[in-house]
Amino acid sequence: MARRLLPFLAALVLAAAIPVCAVEVPVSLVEAVIGRVVRGLHFHHTGRILPPDVKLVVDKMGGPTDLSAGDLSMLAEGSVGGDAFRYRWGIAGEDETAGLWVLQFHRAVTFFVQTGATAES
């Protein structure tokens, strides 16, 4: 039993010795990256490039969000890498630039993105 416990304790000690730090990232940079992800997903799903003049509004949602709850369940869903990146999306009516996107990373951080006419209202 002690032989099995020793590697586990050694791993705990090593993990405790590794310094943990946080890096502040400007909000504008995060919004730019999320915008590029949405533009890429828009092309992937519609086959059309979202024009550069189309407005995007990015909002970070507080805490984990259940993507299958409420109105979000009406949106189409997709994922990359299982739960590493999950998203819901929908295009509003005939205007293919107007859409809603909900992006979730590791079931921990969620972003709500509006594009086109939906971003203006």
How much is the pLDDT for 42?
96
Domain locations in the chain?
A: 26-120
Instruction: Note the pTM of the prediction, 2 decimals.
Output: 0.76
Residue 79 has pLDDT above 60, yes or no: yes
pLDDT (tens digit, 9 = 90+) per residue, 93-120? 788 899 999 999 988 889 999 998 765 6
Sheet with 109-115, side-by-side order of all strands: 56-61, 109-115, 99-105, 85-91, 76-80
Token pair for residue 116?
């086109």
Q: Which of 16-25, 55-64, 98-107 has the lowest mean pLDDT?
A: 16-25
What is the pLDDT, as a whole number, of residue 65?
79
The rounded mean pLDDT for the chain is 82
Neighbours of 100 (CB within 10 A): 19
For the record, the structure tokens of 5 come out as 């416990």
